[in-house]
Amino acid sequence: MTDEMIRMLQLAQQGFQCSQILLLMGLEAQGKDNVDLVRAMSALAGGLGFSGDICGTLTGGACLLGLYAGRGRADEEEDPRLKIMIGELVEWFTMEHGGKYGGIRCETILGDDPRSRTTRCPSMILGTYQKVKDLLVQNGFDLSTGRP
């Protein structure tokens, strides 16, 4: 088991959800803490507020890309590669998990098995975190510094 998987499991045991775990991992990689951002990410968990809609791992991954490449102040521009990276993430997630589980909606991925959150979600979160990191590195981002 990798250090990243151990950390993700620790965060899950503390009650954090998929989207929150992804952002916590990204913030920790940058040596940052942002309670408000982590709190806001809870709205994506369980498929947009536990509505069962689009998987919080996918939307959380897109937000993690935005943490590195998005616009956060009036005097900065969004990195033009952000939309491309998000598109690549969605395409990858749809092929990797949507194909396997019949779609990218949380309720579709989890199905009727109550154990799905513990059997399916951890590997999806880890895989998505790795894909986001790969996309960022391929596009020249420094994972440890984030956006200035």
pTM of the model: 0.94
pLDDT at 112 over 90: no
Angle in degrees, CA 44, 49, 52, rounded to 5? 95
So what's the pLDDT on residue 116?
Answer: 78
In this model, does residue 68 exceed pLDDT 80?
yes
pLDDT band of residue 148 (cuts 50, 70, 90) is low
Query: How far is 87 from 30, CA to CA, in rounded Å?
Result: 24
Contact (CB, 8 A) for 117 and 13: no
- Look up residue 62 and give its DSSP letter: H
Q: What's phi and psi for 106, nearest 5 deg?
A: -55, -45
Q: What is the pLDDT of residue 114?
A: 74
CA distance 43 to 21: 13
In sequence order, which residues have a C-beta less than 8 Å from that of residue 128 and are 6 or more positions away? 22, 57, 58, 60, 61, 89, 93
Q: How much is the pLDDT for 10?
A: 95
Mean pLDDT, the chain, whole residue set: 94
- pLDDT class for 113, splitting at 50, 70, 90? confident
- Per-residue pLDDT averaged across 81-100, rounded? 96
Residue-wise pLDDT for 5-45, tens only, equals 999 999 999 999 999 999 999 999 999 999 999 999 999 99
Residue 113: C-alpha distances to residues 97, 100, 116 (Å): 16, 15, 6
